[in-house]
């Protein structure tokens, strides 16, 4: 069996994508560390329940580059080889992005390049789009801007609200993210 790549997941919230990554773990990767910039993020409990090391530090009052250097030190300590952002609501410093170039991915709830940033589902519905979806992309300096590795589309149905569409897209995120992470780490 090939050696599994050590992956850190960075979160800020409930951690449903983290859970999907953990549940789908197979021969390609091993979630070794969960990092949160929010001390009471729900996802931390998911990590702990799975026996995974967690590191939580509130970013308030710490300069961005300094905060990211602290996170990077944790990643090095745990010999992390790839990073998955999963609802990490924090813009990364250029130094951190450069350090993990080609080894850091994000899941975004839109069909990129459409709707970078927040409120993606509201914006897709307001635009009258026939489809919403999610994208997994390499992280580069621009927000939600890196090369797209994989996408999944879902129909936007009459009467959809941002919440109903988000729920439909989330199912696809949970399927697509583990698959794409596994594909990426196999190339490292």
Positions marked catalytic: 108
The answer to whether 46 contacts ligand GRF (rule: CB under 6 A) is no
Candidates 23-31, 102-110, 125-133, 148-156 — which segment interacts with ligand GRF by CB under 6 A? 102-110
Instruction: Give the footprint of ligand GRF on residues 114-173 (CB under 6 A).
Output: 134, 170, 173
Candidates 13-21, 48-56, 90-98, 150-158 — which segment interacts with ligand GRF by CB under 6 A? 13-21
Residues 6+ apart with CB under 8 A from 149: 105, 136, 137, 138, 180, 183, 184
For residue 170, report the phi and psi dihedrals to the nearest 5 degrees.
Answer: -60, -40
Q: What is the dihedral of CA 160, 166, 172, 173, to 10 degrees?
A: 160
**Within 13 Å and on the Cβ side, how many CA atoms surround 157?**
10
Candidates 23-31, 48-56, 104-112, 146-154 — which segment interacts with ligand GRF by CB under 6 A? 104-112
Question: Of all residues in this chain, which one has the CB nearest to ligand GRF in the complex?
Answer: 87
Output the smallest distance, CB 28 to ligand GRF, in A. 20
The answer to whether 110 contacts ligand GRF (rule: CB under 6 A) is no
The answer to whether 102 contacts ligand GRF (rule: CB under 6 A) is no
Residues 6+ apart with CB under 8 A from 80: 6, 7, 8, 32, 33
Of residues 175, 139, 172, 166, the one with CA closest to residue 13: 166
Interface residues with ligand GRF (CB under 6 A)? 11, 13-17, 43, 86-87, 107-109, 134, 170, 173
């Amino acid at each position: 069996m090939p050696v599994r790549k050590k992956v850190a997941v960075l979160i800020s919230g409930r951690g449903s994508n983290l859970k999907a990554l953990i549940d789908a773990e197979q021969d390609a990767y091993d979630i070794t560390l969960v990092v949160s910039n929010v001390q009471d993020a729900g996802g931390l409990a998911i990590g702990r329940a799975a026996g995974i090391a967690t590191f939580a530090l509130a970013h308030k009052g710490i300069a961005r580059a300094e905060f990211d250097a602290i996170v990077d030190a944790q990643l090095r300590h745990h010999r992390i080889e790839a990073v998955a952002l999963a609802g990490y609501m924090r813009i990364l410093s250029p130094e951190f992005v450069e350090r993990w170039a080609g080894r850091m991915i994000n899941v975004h709830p839109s069909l990129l390049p459409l709707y970078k940033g927040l409120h993606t589902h509201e914006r897709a519905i307001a635009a009258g789009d026939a489809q919403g979806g999610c994208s997994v992309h390499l992280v580069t300096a621009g927000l939600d801007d890196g090369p797209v590795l994989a996408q999944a589309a879902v129909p936007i149905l009459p009467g959809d609200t941002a919440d109903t569409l988000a729920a439909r897209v989330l199912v696809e995120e949970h399927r697509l993210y583990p698959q794409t992470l596994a594909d990426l780490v196999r190339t490292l």
